[in-house]
Amino acid sequence: MKPQLAEMLLDLKFRCPEDGLRKKTAFSEDMEATQAILFNSRYDRLRKISAYRRWLELNQPCVFGRVAGKNKNVFICLLEEHEILRMERGDRDLHDTIQDHRQVWKRFALEGLSSSFVILLVSKSLVGKEPGKQLKEICRRLLELYMELDHIDDDTFHTQREYVFLKKRQPGNARLLKFSTLPNVFCAQGDGRWWHDHRTPGGIMITSNALGHFVHSRTVVVTLQDKEKIQALDQAMRTISNAHKPSGRSRFKHCPATFLVPIANGEATPIRESSDFHKYSADHYQGYFNTDHLIPSVFFSKERDPKELKLHEDLTFRYIYDSTADPQEHAKLMTGIETTWYDAKRNMDRLPDYADPETGETFSDKTTGRLALWLNQRLKERLEP
């Protein structure tokens, strides 16, 4: 049997070496400021979520994430270490808590209110530990509980699609679309290391972003046009360009961890000539880890900047704007796939009746408030006194 996540957290706390980097170098100021709130028991859950959302808005390189954070379009499942340790049924309760939040996020997404789901595991004892095998196994277990997979191997793509739904209103009826997401893992240990872009305050963060849903929910058109796709491509290229670039003594061989590449002679690009990105390839970019891997094994090494890392030379942008190279991926990740209410309801079968996704009633502030109370009550019922 696999160890429970609570056991893994305790093992990390008492048996994992301290992070040598943290003995010499403090966390970045933005991390310290956010962690001062996340680790303070005097702040309630809403205040901690607000502080974390503010950090996402100001400090992550992802353009889409910043916009979502600013507009409160990121749905956050906050899990504190003391709660995980107090869950009566261990991972069964943790799984159910994550799935409750996952389905409420999908209900928000159906109305176009959220395209990003974040699971944030907050642990003061975790952030100061070495990024080795124990940390990697905790990340793996958290992803398995979220994705409901028996096992996830290192350096692999997501083997099971995570879909989120969007109701596009049309005269006479509503068109129902579903979009695939791209989950990624972030750790506090990334701060100040070559993989700085995948850092997070608090401990561990898993994010699942639906780019096509994000773009679709911000436009009234039923079918995405080239204009919207090129805007999304421009923002994706900007995200890669925003990768951490330390200077002076802190310069690393493998920073930035991802980067744009110059456009080849004769290579076509849909990016306008006036854009800063016209001179770069719109087809692909490069990086020292694969941005689509669920568990990038290269993160979990104590070295601040290893001597050698494999260069991934063909990380693609093409699915964003090109419907011919890989029509299936373009549809799943960008334009959306028409689906049925049966499919949507099957993904939201935990929700109380007042949040029925097929109802014609308006999804009001009252509904969102009731769902927040429902989530809190469900969590309390799983905790030992």
* SS3 readout for 207-256: EEECHHHHHHCCCCCCCCCHHHHHHHHHHHHHHHHCCCCCCHHHCCCCCC
Average pLDDT on 85-103 reads: 98
The amino acid occupying position 176 is L
Greater model confidence, 142 or 65: 142
**What local confidence, expressed as pLDDT, does residue 157 receive?**
85
**Residues 280-335 pLDDT 10s:** 999 999 999 999 999 999 999 999 999 999 999 999 999 999 999 889 999 999 99
| Nearest-10 crossing angle of helices 5-15, 133-147 | 160
The CA-CA-CA angle for residues 60, 205, 152, to 5°, reads: 125
Residue 144 lies in a domain: yes
**What local confidence, expressed as pLDDT, does residue 173 receive?**
63
**What local confidence, expressed as pLDDT, does residue 159 receive?**
59
Greater model confidence, 251 or 242: 242
What lies within 8 Å, CB to CB, of 31 at 6+ separation is: 188, 191, 199, 201
Backbone angles phi, psi at 280, to 5 degrees: -110, 155
* pLDDT more than 70, % of the chain: 97
Token pair of 70 as six digits = 């600013």
Residue 300 lies in a domain: no
Task: Report the distance separating Cα 357 and Cα 36, nearest Å.
Answer: 38
Q: In Å, what is the CA distance from 172 to each residue of 168, 169, 223, 225? A: 12, 8, 17, 22
Task: Report the distance separating Cα 318 and Cα 283, nearest Å.
Answer: 5
The reported pTM is 0.95
**What local confidence, expressed as pLDDT, does residue 70 receive?**
74
Contact (Cβ atoms closer than 8 angstroms) between residue 338 and residue 177 = yes
Average pLDDT on 92-107 reads: 98
Q: How many domains does the chain divide into? A: 1
**Residues 117-149 pLDDT 10s:** 999 999 999 999 999 999 999 999 999 999 999
Greater model confidence, 175 or 80: 80
* 68 pLDDT more than 80: no
According to DSSP, the β-strands at 312-316 and 173-180 are: unpaired
Q: In Å, what is the CA distance from 278 to each residue of 118, 227, 233? A: 32, 15, 11
Task: Report the distance separating Cα 374 and Cα 73, nearest Å.
Answer: 20
**What local confidence, expressed as pLDDT, does residue 161 receive?**
79
Contact (Cβ atoms closer than 8 angstroms) between residue 65 and residue 75 = no
Residue 84 lies in a domain: yes
**What local confidence, expressed as pLDDT, does residue 63 receive?**
78
Helices (H), 119-184: 124-127, 133-147
Residue 355 lies in a domain: yes
Contact (Cβ atoms closer than 8 angstroms) between residue 191 and residue 204 = no
Average pLDDT on 79-97 reads: 98
The CA-CA-CA angle for residues 315, 319, 320, to 5°, reads: 105
Looking at the DSSP assignment, which residues form a beta bridge with residue 122? Answer: 80, 203
Backbone angles phi, psi at 347, to 5 degrees: -85, -5
**What local confidence, expressed as pLDDT, does residue 17 receive?**
97
Average pLDDT on 6-31 reads: 96
**What local confidence, expressed as pLDDT, does residue 351 receive?**
96
* 244 pLDDT more than 80: yes
Q: Which of 355, 292, 348 is nearest to 165 (CA)?
A: 348
The pLDDT confidence band at residue 224, using thresholds 50, 70 and 90, is confident
**What local confidence, expressed as pLDDT, does residue 270 receive?**
95
* pLDDT more than 90, % of the chain: 84
Token pair of 241 as six digits = 């360009």
The pLDDT confidence band at residue 172, using thresholds 50, 70 and 90, is low
| Strand-by-strand arrangement of the 312-316 sheet | 258-262, 280-287, 312-316
Q: Which of 181, 96, 191, 95 is nearest to 143 (CA)?
A: 95
Per the structure, the complete domain to which residue 105 belongs is given by 5-222+328-382
Average pLDDT on 258-280 reads: 95
* 160 pLDDT more than 90: no
**What local confidence, expressed as pLDDT, does residue 248 receive?**
64
Task: Report the distance separating Cα 278 and Cα 244, nearest Å.
Answer: 21
Residue 191 lies in a domain: yes
Residue 241 lies in a domain: no
Task: Report the distance separating Cα 26 and Cα 33, nearest Å.
Answer: 12
Residue 166 lies in a domain: yes
Residue 308 lies in a domain: no
Average pLDDT on 192-203 reads: 96
What lies within 8 Å, CB to CB, of 354 at 6+ separation is: 367, 370
